[in-house]
Amino acid sequence: MTDFWSFLLQTLTASGAAAVLLVVKAMFRDKLSPRWQFAVWGILAVMLLLPAGFLGRYSLVNWPIIVEVLKSALTGRFGTLTKVTAPVPLPPLGPPETVWDCLYLIYAAGAVLLLARYLAAYIRLRLALRRGRPVLDGRVREAAARYGLPVCAAVKVEGLPSAFVCGVLRPVLALPAGRETDEKVLLHELLHLKYHDAAWGLVICFFRCLHWCNPLLWQCANLAGNDLESLCDQRVLERLEGEDRRDYGRILLDMANEKYARAPGTSSMANGGRNIRRRIQAIARFKRYPAGMALVSVCVALVLACPMVVGARAEALPDSENRYVVLAAARTTRCTTYAGAFDAYAKAMLTGRTDYRALCAPLAEQDTLAQCYGRDNVEGDWNWLPAEGLWRDNLDRFSGYQIYNLAQSGDGWEGLLALTLNSAPPGETWDSGVYDRWMLTQRLRAEKEGDRWVIVPQGELRAMQGDIRDGGNIGLPAWEYTAPAGDFTLRVRWQTTSAVESGGAPNWFSVSVNTAPILNGEFTNYFDQIIMADYTGAAEDKAGYESIGVSYVPLWAGDERPVLQGEGGMNGSGSSSDGEGWGQNILDWDWGDTVFLVGDGGSRGDFIDPPERYAADLYLNGKKAAELTLLPSEGGGLVEPRA
C-alpha cells in the first residue's frame, strides 16, 4: 500500500471477507468445535496477507470498481489504476499533494505508532519479569509431566492478577507472587506454551496495527483472541474429568472482574469479564466432538475459503450509464491477452463505445476518454476517435474485422486493423474494375501496461480499396518474395489474417458478429499467398508463350528444398494445407504483363511467422524452365500493394 486508495482497496477487501466469516461463524457457533472457530480466522489472515486483487482476482465483490468510482468521483482523475503491491503500508511515492495523500500519511503513522506502543509494552513486561523470583518448588514441572506438556522457565512477580506465558523464542511462565497457582491454571498456560499461542497473539496484534482505523477488523482481532482462549479451554477440559471441570469454571469466574490488558506475545486466562462469562457458558455445554466432525469442519472451511481467497475475474461491463461506474469497470477489467486487446479495440471501432476503448486504452488516455463519454454511449458515439464524420455512418458493422500481418515487435505485437465500409468515402470513387470494396484501416500495437494489455495506435485511420480473393487481399500490404527467370519475375505475396472467433468467425463473409469484447481471447490465424508472374521481356516476344505454370512451397529456417512435382497442360491449380501448391495458366493472345497463377491459404491456431524464402519451379509452355529460390524483397518488410 502506497497511497490512500490502495489502503482503501486492501481494507475493504478484508472487510468483505470478515463480514462473511462473522455470519458463518455465528451459524456454526454451537455446531463446530472451538478448533474450527479459531482456525477459520486463517482465511481472513490469508486475505490480509495477500494484496487485494492478487493475480487479477476479486474476492466476493468487485472492490476495485468501488474504489475507482470513489477515486474518480472525489478527485476527478481517471488516468490511474489503484494497485496493492504489498499488504503493509509503504512509503508514499512522493510528497503529499492532496488531502488523500495526507490521510494516507496519518494512517501509516498510526500503524507505526500503535506497533511501537505494543512493542514498548512488551519490552516493559519483559523487564518486569527479569525482576521476578525463579520458581523452585517444581510444581510447574510436575504439572507438565502429569499431562505430557513442554515446560519453560517460570518466575513469580508481584502484582500480577493471573498467570501467563510471555515470549515466543524464549518463553517465560509468569506466576502471581504471594499465592499458590492452581494446577488447572498451570495446565491452561502450559497448553498455551505447547501450541505457541503467544505467537498467534503476535499475529493478531500485527493485523490489528495494520488496520487500526477499521472498526470491523479491530473487532475481528478481539474475537480471534477470544476464540484462542476458548480453544485453550477446550483443550483443558479434554484433559479434566468430573469435579475438576467444575473447579476450572469456578476459577474462571473468580477472574471475571479482573482488569488486565494483555501485551503482545503473552497469554492469559483472564480476557475480560464479559468474555469469561461466555467461556463459562461454553464449559457448561462442553462436549467431545466426534471424529467425523473434523472432515465436516474442513469441508465447510474450504467452501468458505474458495470464493474469498480464489475469487473471480470480472468479465463483463456493468449495465450502467454512469461514467464513473462504467469507466472504472473498464480500467479494472483487464485484457489478459494481446488478442483480447486487439479484439476490444476492433469492437470499439465497430460499435463506437467509449467504454470498449477504455478496456484496452493506456492509462494516460483515460482522462480524455472520460471527457468523451456520453449518455448515448451504449449505442455508440465514436467521440473518442478523430475524423469520425468521414466514416462512422459508412461502417459495415456486420462484416466484423481482421488484423492483417500480425507480427511480434519487441515485447508487443503489431498488425493492421481492417474494417469494411459500405461505400466509397467522400471525394473518392469506386474502382470496381480492380477492387470490390473500400476498407478502413489503422496500424495498431498491443503492449503490456502492468498486468493488462493495451492498444496504442501507430497511425491515423486510412481508407483503402481492396479485393478479397483466394490468396488474400490484394489491396493491403503483404510480405513479398521475388526471383527473376528469363523474361519473367516470379512474385509471391504472403499475408496473414487474425481474429478472435466466438459464435461464428468474425470475417468478411459473416452476416453477424459478436460485438462484445473477449478479453482473454486467442487469435485464429490464417495465412494466404498469391503467386504471380510479371513479364519483363520485349512486347514482340509475348507471342512465343502459350502457357505458364509454377510449383512452389514456403520454406522456414532450417527447411531443405524438396523435390517439387511439376504440372502442365490445361488451366488449373492445387494446394496442400502446409502451403505447397501448383498453378497453370493457358495464356490468351492479349495476356497482360502480370499473370495471376494461383492463390491459396490455410488456418492455424498458433501464430504464423512469414517464410524465410520460397522454393519454386517455373514452367513455360509445359516444360520446366527454371528452379528458383524466391527471397524477400525490400529487406523482407511489408510491401505496399502495387498499382
Instruction: Please tell me whether residues 497 and 452 are part of one structural domain.
Output: no
CA distances from 547 to 533, 537, 543, 581 (A): 12, 15, 11, 17
Asked if the model's pLDDT at residue 378 lies above 50, the reply is no
Confidence class for position 509, pLDDT limits 50, 70, 90: very low
Domain assignment of residue 214, yes or no: yes
Q: What is the CATH number of the domain that holds 435?
A: 3.10.450
B/e letters for 251-285, b = 16+ CB within 10 Å, e = fewer, are bbeebeeeebebbbbbbbbbbbeebbeebbebbee
> Which residues lie closer than 8 Å to 328 by C-beta, 6 or more apart?
64, 65, 68, 69, 72
Query: Given this model, what pLDDT does residue 106 score?
Result: 92
Phi, psi (rounded to 5 degrees) for 495: -140, 145
Torsion of Cα atoms, 473 then 476 then 482 then 487, to 10°: 70
Contact 156, 132 (CB under 8 A): yes
Which segment of 215-219, 228-232, 279-283, 572-576 scores lowest on mean pLDDT? 279-283
Rounded CA-CA distance 308/581 in Å is 56
Domain assignment of residue 569, yes or no: yes
**Number of domains composing the chain:** 3
Rounded CA-CA distance 361/355 in Å is 9
Instruction: Give pTM, 2 decimals.
Output: 0.77
Which segment of 213-222, 442-451, 478-487, 559-568 scores lowest on mean pLDDT? 559-568
**Kind of pairing between the strands at 172-176 and 153-157:** parallel
Asked if the model's pLDDT at residue 248 lies above 60, the reply is yes
**Kind of pairing between the strands at 133-134 and 153-157:** antiparallel
Confidence class for position 513, pLDDT limits 50, 70, 90: low
Asked if the model's pLDDT at residue 76 lies above 90, the reply is no
Asked if the model's pLDDT at residue 124 lies above 80, the reply is yes
Instruction: Please tell me whether residues 152 and 77 are part of one structural domain.
Output: yes
Query: Given this model, what pLDDT does residue 50 score?
Result: 84
Confidence class for position 551, pLDDT limits 50, 70, 90: very high
Grid look-up 499461542 returns: 197
Residue type, 306: C
* Mean pLDDT value of segment 24-44: 81
* Mean pLDDT value of segment 470-474: 72
Q: Please give the residue range of the domain that contains residue 399.
A: 329-466
Could you please report the per-residue DSSP string of 565-594? PP--SSSEEEE-TTS-EEEEEEPPTT--SE
> Which residues lie closer than 8 Å to 45 by C-beta, 6 or more apart?
203, 207
Asked if the model's pLDDT at residue 379 lies above 80, the reply is no
Instruction: Please tell me whether residues 346 and 283 are part of one structural domain.
Output: no
Q: What length is written for the chain?
A: 643
Residue type, 239: R
Instruction: Please tell me whether residues 78 and 144 are part of one structural domain.
Output: yes
pLDDT digits (tens, 9 = 90+) for 438-460: 888 999 999 999 888 999 999 88
Query: Given this model, what pLDDT does residue 138 score?
Result: 80
Asked if the model's pLDDT at residue 273 lies above 60, the reply is no
DSSP H or E segment with residue 233: helix 215-237
Asked if the model's pLDDT at residue 415 lies above 70, the reply is yes
* Joined grid coordinates for residue 81: 489504476
Confidence class for position 469, pLDDT limits 50, 70, 90: low
* Joined grid coordinates for residue 153: 522457565
pLDDT digits (tens, 9 = 90+) for 9-22: 999 888 888 888 88
Query: Given this model, what pLDDT does residue 310 score?
Result: 59
Instruction: Please tell me whether residues 417 and 506 are part of one structural domain.
Output: no
Domain assignment of residue 481, yes or no: no
Instruction: Please tell me whether residues 42 and 96 are part of one structural domain.
Output: yes
Instruction: Please tell me whether residues 442 and 502 are part of one structural domain.
Output: no
* Mean pLDDT value of segment 497-526: 70
Domain assignment of residue 471, yes or no: no
pLDDT digits (tens, 9 = 90+) for 607-643: 678 899 999 999 999 889 999 999 998 766 778 776 4
Query: Given this model, what pLDDT does residue 454 score?
Result: 95
Instruction: Please tell me whether residues 54 and 195 are part of one structural domain.
Output: yes
Domain assignment of residue 315, yes or no: no
- Considering the chain, what is the average pLDDT of its residues? 81
Helix, strand, or coil (residue 485): strand
Instruction: Please tell me whether residues 539 and 449 are part of one structural domain.
Output: no
Confidence class for position 114, pLDDT limits 50, 70, 90: very high
Query: Given this model, what pLDDT does residue 375 score?
Result: 45
* Mean pLDDT value of segment 175-192: 84
Instruction: Please tell me whether residues 301 and 341 are part of one structural domain.
Output: no
Query: Given this model, what pLDDT does residue 628 score?
Result: 94
* Mean pLDDT value of segment 535-558: 91
Instruction: Please tell me whether residues 50 and 133 are part of one structural domain.
Output: yes
Asked if the model's pLDDT at residue 377 lies above 50, the reply is no
Confidence class for position 279, pLDDT limits 50, 70, 90: low
Instruction: Please tell me whether residues 198 and 287 are part of one structural domain.
Output: yes
Which segment of 162-176, 419-433, 564-578 scores lowest on mean pLDDT? 564-578
Residue type, 550: V
Residue type, 214: N
